[in-house]
Structure 1
Amino acid sequence: MIQLATLGLTPVVVEEGLKKSLPEKLYIIHTKKESNYDFEKEAKKLKKKIEEQYKIPTILEKVDAFDMDKIIHSLLNIIYKEKKANANLSKKDFAINITGGTKLMVSAATVAAYLAGTRVYYVMEASKHRGEELVKELPMPVIPEKDDKGNTSKITKIVLEKIKKLGKCTYSMLLEEVRKDTRVKKNQRIEYHLAKLQTNDLITVTRGWEKPSKNKMTGKSLVDNKKNTIQLTPSGEYYAEFSDLLGSIL
């Protein structure tokens, strides 16, 4: 089992979280040095203590305490790389200890756990829970991984990947990119897949396409209102990048 733990002002909760089920490897998610507390220094001290006392290989992962998207991305990336290195690891071979850190870090860690389908640990306050097991495994909802036909949608996944590659695109740009892919059949249509992606809030489709040319009078970009702009939402970004890890809700 591999554990990821967010570090806050009480480092003891990271150490306490190890007692639920001793992991083979630990990632400590920490932030930079602040005026009131040196989180980076504390993370290094904790790493040394855990490696010496518990003999657990410990890796430090520095994040921005107030950038939720980047924290989620960092956690998903750790899990993705570990699973890629060891195909035998399942989602439940990972646990995230969400006790420490800012409220935003805790929220980001919870979202990452939900998306990746990992276990979630929370360490209770010892003074308020005497005689109880302090490390609680929180119940987490499971994302369904199959569509209504019981099959994972390969084409929808490919469409999502192409939108990420293009950044912003029109329907015709996306269709051309999809049809270049050797994994899809000739003259593949994508309307159904775009509708699924939009329904699941993984993409936005907005009226108007900003042209590269500008209005000579105003200096503003010209807009073609006959076309729509397609782009990923933040959730879509995660699914496009970590589709093998997150599975499919499509």
Structure 2
Amino acid sequence: MHIHIAMMGRVTEPVTKAFQALGYDKLYLLSGTKFQESIDKVTESLSNFKVEVIPEYISGFDFQEIVNTIYRIYERENEKGVTFSINITGGTNLMAAAACSCAFFIGATIYYVMDDDKPVKEQVLSIPTPKTPNMAALKEETREILRYILKKVESGGYATTAELMEEFNKTKQTLNHQINILREEGLVENGEIKRPDGKVDRRYKSIVLTQQGRLVASWI
């Protein structure tokens, strides 16, 4: 089952072109109520191919509403064998930004549809996305560690293994296991600690967030 989530304004071609190229099974249309005519046009066009079209009415200028809507779709549809894709071509720039953020977390492929004279399949471009972390592998106590590291970084500091052991009352073995989970998901890495004279203290390593880790820690 391929579920396609499309941002759409008045223009319908990016949605129908994506179907020609990808052949999705179910379509969620995120659009405004003032574009009902366009929604009806897409629904009628895809009904010939037995594609279920479900409109989701949102404000194109409410980032959180867009994010919440996409997550709600994901929670409703996510099961074994289901793949998700997101079409960011239509709607507002904010809709595209919110959709890209969501794609990262739900493991969806992002598509952008060009408007040119090339064959349709060449107009539908797949946008590379970072490796999606396995959120199911992050138990609450592991998420707490991630949030704590973010808090330290935002305050201008850094976290060490010894500090985390004390803060979360963990043995070194248990903490290292949780840090390794975060490292395997690409969320943390080892960092350097500098002495007051500016030289690197090679006796210790800090635990720092990757760019991906900072994003995840801000959301969970």
TM-score by length of 2: 0.63
SS in 1 for 2:22: coil
Deviations for 1:194-221, whole angstroms, at most 9, x for unmatched residues?
x5214347xx99xxxxxxxxxxxxxxxx
CA distance in 2 between counterparts of 1:235 and 1:43 reads 33
- Aligned match of 2:130 in 141, 144, 147? 141
Verify the 8 A CA contact 1:114 1:140 in the aligned structure 2.
yes
Name the structure 1 match of 2:60: 65
Q: What residue identity is the alignment partner of 2:16?
A: E
Q: What residue identity is the alignment partner of 2:81?
A: L
- Spell out the pairing of 1:217-236 with structure 2 (5 A cutoff): none
Deviation of the 1:238 alpha carbon: 5.4
CA distance in 2 between counterparts of 1:131 and 1:12 reads 11
CA distance in 2 between counterparts of 1:31 and 1:237 reads 29
CA distance in 1 between counterparts of 2:103 and 2:121 reads 25
- Aligned match of 1:47 in 43, 46, 53? 43
Structure 2 spans left out of the alignment, 5+ residues: 156-214
CA distance in 2 between counterparts of 1:4 and 1:30 reads 11
SS in 2 for 1:19: helix
Verify the 8 A CA contact 1:27 1:61 in the aligned structure 2.
yes
Name the structure 1 match of 2:15: 14
Name the structure 2 match of 1:196: 146
Q: What residue identity is the alignment partner of 1:126?
A: D
Name the structure 1 match of 2:84: 94
CA distance in 2 between counterparts of 1:143 and 1:4 reads 18
Verify the 8 A CA contact 1:73 1:238 in the aligned structure 2.
no
CA distance in 1 between counterparts of 2:89 and 2:16 reads 11
What is the aligned residue count? 158
1:79 aligns with 2:85: no
Name the structure 1 match of 2:175: none
- Spell out the pairing of 1:170-189 with structure 2 (5 A cutoff): none
TM-score by length of 1: 0.56
Verify the 8 A CA contact 1:8 1:100 in the aligned structure 2.
yes
Name the structure 2 match of 1:25: 26
Q: What residue identity is the alignment partner of 1:116?
A: I
Q: 1:130 to 1:44 in 2, by over 3 A?
A: closer
CA distance in 1 between counterparts of 2:120 and 2:72 reads 37
Name the structure 2 match of 1:246: none
Deviations for 1:41-83, whole angstroms, at most 9, x for unmatched residues?
32123212211x2220110011111001110110111011101
Structure 1 spans left out of the alignment, 5+ residues: 34-38, 158-192, 206-233, 240-250
CA distance in 2 between counterparts of 1:107 and 1:79 reads 17
Give the percent of matched residue pairs that are identical in Structure 1 and Structure 2.
27
Q: What residue identity is the alignment partner of 1:115?
A: F
Q: Which has the larger share of helix?
A: 2
SS in 2 for 1:15: helix
Q: What residue identity is the alignment partner of 1:59?
A: I
Q: 1:62 to 1:111 in 2, by over 3 A?
A: same
